[in-house]
């Protein structure tokens, strides 16, 4: 699987890792995701955290994902057994969080595994992270492939075109949240809309209320896609395109599943604000669609990619840091000692490492961190208004995490070392213009949503294989 196994570590590195482990007296919590598709979506770093955990908790039902998990670590505990008939999901979540944190308190390195992106609509993971962090334990939340990422790929929706909103279906109805109909809209948890209990039932009346609200906003002829990404390798996604009005038919409401995500393409397009274009100095290009140049309109010279000049030591060290949490900790404790234990570095690598290891004192960063904290204060206000939906409440808990992350000024400082890299990324003004030119693509995308209809392989079974943790 591309993982550097411990027996390939050279002696010095091994000694450092042993030292690091010996110093780890207190527990830690890593929350990782499997992605949506079993086997294909698990990231290498998530795999590393599963492999190296003392105990792994999971909330996974897909047999392939489970097989993968058990192959990586034999010490696995199933959290799904905590769900119960007629048991409120919020109680189950508190219990899931509690059993994970209890292991952390006993000094163990715990990894919690959830499907998709583990920070995206995963209340128990948030709760466990918040609690463990508040009690002073090391925590981390690793990104994974979410259903939203998958949807962008399968429906070929580019959120850079007209923007997007993603929200939870019950929350949308309860707070009467305004939809931006000029952008892409994604509604999560449409199958179990209004359902706070487990097991999730097929409540067609509640689903009908959701669609009536959408019809009020978009009209009954506007298209939408019931999307379920494939959970098995080789399987096709479910892309069921219907007009919103078709959901007045209970048979269509019934076909929605707990894994359904509803995609609604833009309805309106917005005119350019020419005064703003003027201020930005791009009025000559805005509002007059430029023809997309043909590829042959300029000579093309293809140059084979040149491998970067990189020492074997540097590559091996970085690879191991990415895949092994012990290695990452050893590196953070003493970057120079850890990396050079792999062998000699070239001059560029030595400079990078020296800059990385140097304590940073960027005044600007402190200001920026404070700004973010101020924003968080206002997020709390918003949370106070959030009275109901359990998921929303659970998500509210997680604002504390954000604040905690802000405290980690060191991390931000570390990022500052790579300001040059960021600057390189900033050369994207042209890209922005390209995006402006391609506003027409939005329409193309709308058209392609219809195409999606043709691909509608109604693999309804796929829906039922999808996992829970709502």
Ligand X SMILES: C[S@@+](CC[C@H](N)C(=O)[O-])C[C@H]1O[C@@H](n2cnc3c(N)ncnc32)[C@H](O)[C@@H]1O
Identify whether the C-beta of residue 238 lies closer than 8 Å to the C-beta of residue 457: yes
Listed ranges 228-236, 274-282, 304-312, 322-330: which one lies at the site for ligand X (CB under 6 A): 228-236
Residue among 228, 256, 323, 339 that touches ligand X (CB under 6 A): 228
Pairing of strands 28-33, 138-141: parallel
Which residue among the candidates 9, 51, 83, 89 is catalytic per the annotation?
89
Which residue among the candidates 51, 83, 109, 115 is catalytic per the annotation?
115
Identify whether the C-beta of residue 333 lies closer than 8 Å to the C-beta of residue 341: no
Site for ligand X in 134-153 (CB under 6 A): 146-147
Determine the Cα–Cα distance for residues 272 and 435; give it in Å rounded to an integer: 13
175 is catalytic: no
Number of residues engaging ligand X in binding (CB under 6 A): 20
Site for ligand X contains 231 (CB under 6 A) = yes
Tell me how far, at minimum, the Cβ of 448 lies from ligand X, in Å: 18
Pairing of strands 184-188, 76-78: unpaired
Residue among 261, 330, 340, 445 that touches ligand X (CB under 6 A): 261
Nearer to ligand X, 47 or 470 (CB): 470
- Which residue's beta carbon is nearest to the bound ligand X? 116
Site for ligand X contains 259 (CB under 6 A) = yes
CA distances from 71 to 74, 76, 460, 466 (A): 7, 10, 29, 21
Site for ligand X contains 390 (CB under 6 A) = no
Listed ranges 118-126, 271-279, 327-335, 406-414: which one lies at the site for ligand X (CB under 6 A): 118-126
CA distances from 242 to 103, 154, 255, 265, 451 (A): 47, 17, 12, 12, 12
Mask for 175-194, x = binds ligand X (CB under 6 A): -------------xx-----
Which residue among the candidates 83, 93, 137, 150 is catalytic per the annotation?
93
Give the chain's end-to-end CA distance (angstroms, integer): 30
Segment holding 228, helix H or strand E: strand 223-228
Determine the Cα–Cα distance for residues 240 and 261; give it in Å rounded to an integer: 11
Determine the Cα–Cα distance for residues 119 and 427; give it in Å rounded to an integer: 30
Site for ligand X contains 229 (CB under 6 A) = yes
Identify whether the C-beta of residue 196 lies closer than 8 Å to the C-beta of residue 88: yes
Kindly give the residue spans of alpha helices, DSSP state H, lying in 249-398: 250-255, 274-280, 312-323, 325-333, 335-340, 347-357, 363-385, 390-397
CA-based nearest residue to 112, from 48, 204, 33? 33
Determine the Cα–Cα distance for residues 173 and 197; give it in Å rounded to an integer: 18
89 is catalytic: yes
Tell me how far, at minimum, the Cβ of 36 lies from ligand X, in Å: 5
Nearer to ligand X, 227 or 338 (CB): 227
Nearer to ligand X, 50 or 286 (CB): 50
CA distances from 459 to 238, 315, 321, 422, 455 (A): 6, 43, 40, 43, 11
Site for ligand X in 403-462 (CB under 6 A): none
Nearer to ligand X, 51 or 117 (CB): 117
Nearer to ligand X, 128 or 339 (CB): 128
Residue among 93, 120, 247, 314 that touches ligand X (CB under 6 A): 120
51 is catalytic: no
Both tokens of residue 52? 């190296």
Site for ligand X contains 117 (CB under 6 A) = yes
Listed ranges 81-89, 99-107, 112-120, 422-430: which one lies at the site for ligand X (CB under 6 A): 112-120
Positions marked catalytic: 89, 93, 115
Residues that bind ligand X (CB under 6 A): 36, 116-117, 120-122, 146-147, 188-189, 227-229, 231, 258-259, 261, 466, 469-470
């Amino acid at each position: 699987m591309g993982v550097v196994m411990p027996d390939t570590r050279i002696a010095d590195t091994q000694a450092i890792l042993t030292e690091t482990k010996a110093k780890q007296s207190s527990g830690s919590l890593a929350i990782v995701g499997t992605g949506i598709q079993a086997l294909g979506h698990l990231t290498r770093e998530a795999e590393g955290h599963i492999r190296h955990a003392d105990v792994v908790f999971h909330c996974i039902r897909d047999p392939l994902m489970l097989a993968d998990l058990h192959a990586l670590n034999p010490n696995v505990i199933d959290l799904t057994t905590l769900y119960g008939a007629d048991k409120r999901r919020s109680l189950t979540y508190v219990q899931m969080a509690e059993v994970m944190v209890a292991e952390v308190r006993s000094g163990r390195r715990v990894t919690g595994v959830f499907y998709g992106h583990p920070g995206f609509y995963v209340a128990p993971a948030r709760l466990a992270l918040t609690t463990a962090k508040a009690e002073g334990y090391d925590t981390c939340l690793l990104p994974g492939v979410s259903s939203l990422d998958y949807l962008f790929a399968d429906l070929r929706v580019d959120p850079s075109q007209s923007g997007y909103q993603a929200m939870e279906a019950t929350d949308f109805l309860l707070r009467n949240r305004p939809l931006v109909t000029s952008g892409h809209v994604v509604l999560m948890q449409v199958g179990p809309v209004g359902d706070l209990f487990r097991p999730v039932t097929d409540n067609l009346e509640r689903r009908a209320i959701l669609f009536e609200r959408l019809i009020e906003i978009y009209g009954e002829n506007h298209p939408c896609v019931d999307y379920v990404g494939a959970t098995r390798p080789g399987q096709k996604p479910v892309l069921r395109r219907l007009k919103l009005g078709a959901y007045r038919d209970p048979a269509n409401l019934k076909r929605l599943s707990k894994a359904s995500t509803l995609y609604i393409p833009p309805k309106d397009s917005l005119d350019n604000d020419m005064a703003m274009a003027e201020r930005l100095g791009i009025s000559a290009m805005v509002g007059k669609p430029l023809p997309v140049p043909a590829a042959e309109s300029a000579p093309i010279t293809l140059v084979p990619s040149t491998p970067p000049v990189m020492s074997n030591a540097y590559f091996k060290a970085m690879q191991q840091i990415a895949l092994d949490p012990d290695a990452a900790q050893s590196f953070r404790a003493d970057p120079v000692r850890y990396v050079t234990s792999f062998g000699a570095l070239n001059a560029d690598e030595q400079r990078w490492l020296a800059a990385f290891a140097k304590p940073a004192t960027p005044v600007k960063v402190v200001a920026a961190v404070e700004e973010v904290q101020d924003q968080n204060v206002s997020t709390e206000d918003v949370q106070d208004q959030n009275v109901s939906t359990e998921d929303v409440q659970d998500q509210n808990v997680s604002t504390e995490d954000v604040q905690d992350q802000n405290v980690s000024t060191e991390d931000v400082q570390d990022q500052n070392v790579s300001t040059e890299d960021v600057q390189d990324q900033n050369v994207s003004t042209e890209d922005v213009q390209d995006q402006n030119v391609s506003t027409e693509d939005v329409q193309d995308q709308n058209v392609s949503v219809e195409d999606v209809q043709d691909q509608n392989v109604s693999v309804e079974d796929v829906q039922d294989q999808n996992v829970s943790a709502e």
